[in-house]
Amino acid sequence: MRIRVVGAGVMGRGIAQWAVTAGHTVELADARPEAVDEAVGFVSGMLGRAVEKGRTSAEDAAAAVERLVPLRSPLAPGDGVDLVVEAVLEDLAVKTELFTGLEKVLPASAVLATNTSSLSVTRIAAGLTDPSRLAGLHFFNPVPLMRIAEVVPGAATRPGVVPFLVDLVEKSGHRAVVVADTPGFLVNHAGRGLITEALALLEEDVADAAGIDRIARDVLGLRMGPFELTDLTGLDVTASVIDTVWQGFRHSERLRPSYLTPNRVAAGLHGRKTGRGFYEHGPGAPVAPAEPPVTGDAARPVHVPGDAPDAQEVRRVLRAEGAVLDEGARPGDRCVVLVPVWGTTVAEAVAELGLPAGRTLGVDPLSLGARRRVLAMTPASDPNAVRDARAVLARSGEAAVPVSVVRDTAGSVAQRLLASMVSVAASIAERAIAAPADIDLAVTAGLGYPHGPLAWGDRIGAARMLALHRALYGTTGDPRYRPTRWVTERARLGLPLTEAGAPPPHAAR
């Protein structure tokens, strides 16, 4: 296949490298001819590196470089071009002008694709004489390593274009997901669940950025915490995506931005590229602050109230680790009280169960089998009780487990992050923006989560996820946490969250 890539920046040269490696001939063009020469040199260098690391042979690398054809003009005639992939400035007028020129110099059979990450595919196509030939083909940086692409039909895209692009992507070594033309498409939309909730937790001073990141990594299993990831991608970029998706969905409460970001962006706290974001970066930058040592009395008796499954599990774990359990109907005078919370607060348990406020703390059930445990303290917590409860939770057989102490909030940190990720993915599914399987595929491949959000919800259980969403909503009154129809229906019907169900009759029209 002959592909013309217009735009020789980071994305364009990445797309070109992916395509020539897959065996396609690539015409590479840019408004700046010198950028094309730089991109050709970059691709040649990357393929040379692949040879050095044993990932490809010298012959295959040389053949791939031969398939890279530099053009002096993006609008050069090209009778043999099958596909154009545009990767230029994220500006509607610029893209529309480019495609208007391309449809005049390329055959009518050539498919036009935009790599836009934020603009409407339909609006770009609307400026063409034949809008039916254009679709979105959105890759992620670095393209050769991020083996996923979103195929986005516009409102006027003809039926054959989508299967053509899906087939091209799949046969060229990447996975393809078909996504409706909506703000943020799929990956950028789904990614808002984690970062918007992390920012909300930071707003509320539940924990600092490093503390939230530790819980996200060690309890949820994410490779990078939300603030580490934001520093890597750039807060200016992240904030723009947050606002674009929120505004595009008419100020959906589930996607509500944080007041923290505008001032940080204005101050240049963008992350690694500016030397400072939520963390310090660069030579001589301080490492993240060390966690305080465990100094409490691990032999202090612990009372876990109630007979609910979470309470039974806390007692089982503590008993297995040799903790001293107070098994009385009411907590003794000396013990600390550990309440497992699921979408609710420690303060609510203190009031409902008549527990001693100074000695009652919360434990997140999600953290019991994880690499880190999470302890929640209230404004009434006695510092000695916090210290001793942390020591009890930190003892896990012969090995110590790190314990994060956070402020009491509905659901604690990990539950809120997970609930938000599942809710946003469920709202994508119920709008039919993408199929459930494609949502999970795109998120694991594009965002690196250990599980797709819907499959993750199924690991917890649809009914338990619904209970978490209802508890968060009921405890806070914040519409951000209102249960989705997708989760509610599947929990009531005993279906997994990954179940798409039969399509409605109108879907076949």
The answer to whether 153 and 175 are in contact (CB under 8 A) is: no
Q: How far is CA 483 from the centre of its chain?
A: 20
Concerning whether 303 is annotated as a catalytic residue, the answer is no
Full 3-state SS string of 103-123: HHHCCCCCEEEECCCCCCHHH
Domain 2-178: CATH superfamily, name plus number: NAD(P)-binding Rossmann-like Domain (3.40.50.720)
Cis peptide before 340 (omega within 30 of 0): no
Q: What is the pLDDT along the chain (509 residues), one digit of tens a residue?
A: 999 999 999 999 999 999 999 999 999 999 999 999 999 999 999 999 999 999 999 999 999 999 999 999 999 999 999 999 999 999 999 999 999 999 999 999 999 999 999 899 999 999 999 999 999 999 999 999 999 999 999 999 999 999 999 999 999 999 999 999 999 999 999 999 999 999 999 999 999 999 999 999 999 999 999 999 999 999 999 999 999 999 999 999 999 999 999 999 999 999 999 999 999 998 888 877 788 899 999 999 999 999 999 999 999 999 999 999 999 989 999 999 999 999 999 999 999 999 999 999 999 999 999 999 999 999 999 999 999 999 999 986 566 899 999 999 999 999 999 999 999 999 999 999 999 999 999 999 999 999 999 999 999 999 999 999 999 999 999 999 999 999 999 999 999 999 998 777 776 44
Count of helix runs (H) and strand runs (E) in the chain:
20, 15
Distances from the Cα of 447 to the Cαs of 86, 197, 413, in angstroms? 23, 16, 20
The answer to whether 121 and 180 are in contact (CB under 8 A) is: no
The answer to whether 217 and 224 are in contact (CB under 8 A) is: yes
Q: What is the pLDDT of residue 400?
A: 84
Catalytic residue among 27, 86, 103, 138: 138
Q: What is the pLDDT of residue 507?
A: 64
Concerning whether 138 is annotated as a catalytic residue, the answer is yes
Domain ranges of the chain: 2-178, 188-274, 302-401
Q: What is the pLDDT of residue 282?
A: 87
CATH 1.10.1040.50 fits 188-274, yes or no: yes
Query: What are the respective helix, strand and coil percentages of the chain, to the nearest 5?
Result: 50, 15, 40
Q: What angle do CA 118, 122, 127 make, to 5 degrees?
A: 110
Nearest to 376, CA basis, from 201, 218, 256, 227: 201
Q: What is the pLDDT of residue 396?
A: 64
Concerning whether 117 is annotated as a catalytic residue, the answer is yes
Q: What is the pLDDT of residue 509?
A: 41
Q: What is the pLDDT of residue 134?
A: 98
Catalytic residue among 27, 103, 115, 117: 117
Angstrom distance (rounded) from CA 136 to CA 374: 43
Helices 192-203 and 226-233: angle between axes, nearest 10 degrees = 110
Residue 467: strand pairing partners: none
Sign of CA dihedral 195, 197, 200, 204: negative
Catalytic residue among 27, 150, 197, 228: 150
Q: What is the pLDDT of residue 506?
A: 72
What pTM, to 2 d.p., does this model score?
0.93
Residues with Cβ within 8 Å of residue 349, at least 6 apart in sequence: 305, 339, 341, 355, 360, 362
Q: What is the pLDDT of residue 503?
A: 79
